[in-house]
Amino acid sequence: MASKKKILRKIQILIINHYETPEEAFDFFDKNGNGTLTKREIYKLLKQAEINGFIRGIVTSKLIEGYDKDGDDLINWKEFRSAVKEINKST
Ligand SMILES: [Ca+2]
Ligand SMILES: [Ca+2]
């Protein structure tokens, strides 16, 4: 199983290489534009970050567990921004 660090690194690379800002990445993956990322939208982000299909589901759950601060099972912009900050610190 890929290490957490490697997974976070892939997400970081995706955001840096494909989007001007974390905000742009958030808007891209928030397909329905309602200001929150659902499990499904995060799953697609991980797919684009080339996270292996076998672990993608569990990584999605772990990310929500780790970064969903208000406990609504969704990642809003504020939560996404602090996640990106934490990822940048840890990689
Ligand atoms: Ca959404
Ligand atoms: Ca939330």
Q: What CATH number does the domain containing 54 carry? A: 1.10.238.10
Tokens of 54: 């076998």
Q: Which ligand is nearest to the CA of 64?
A: 2
Helix (H) or strand (E) holding 76: strand 75-76
- d(C-alpha 19, C-alpha 62), whole Å: 23
Exposure of 34 in the CB half-sphere (CA atoms within 13 A): 7
Q: How far is the CA of 28 from the centre of ligand 1 (A)?
A: 10
**Domains identified in the chain, total number:** 1
Write out the residue range of the structural domain in which residue 53 sits: 4-90
Each residue of 6-58: pLDDT tens digit? 999 999 999 999 999 999 999 999 999 999 999 999 999 999 999 999 999 99
Neighbours of 29 (CB within 10 A): 21
Q: Is pTM beyond 0.85 here?
A: yes
Q: How far is the CA of 33 from the centre of ligand 2 (A)?
A: 15
- d(C-alpha 56, C-alpha 49), whole Å: 10
How many residues are listed for the chain in this entry? Answer: 91
Q: How far is the CA of 37 from the centre of ligand 2 (A)?
A: 9
pLDDT greater than 80 at residue 1: no
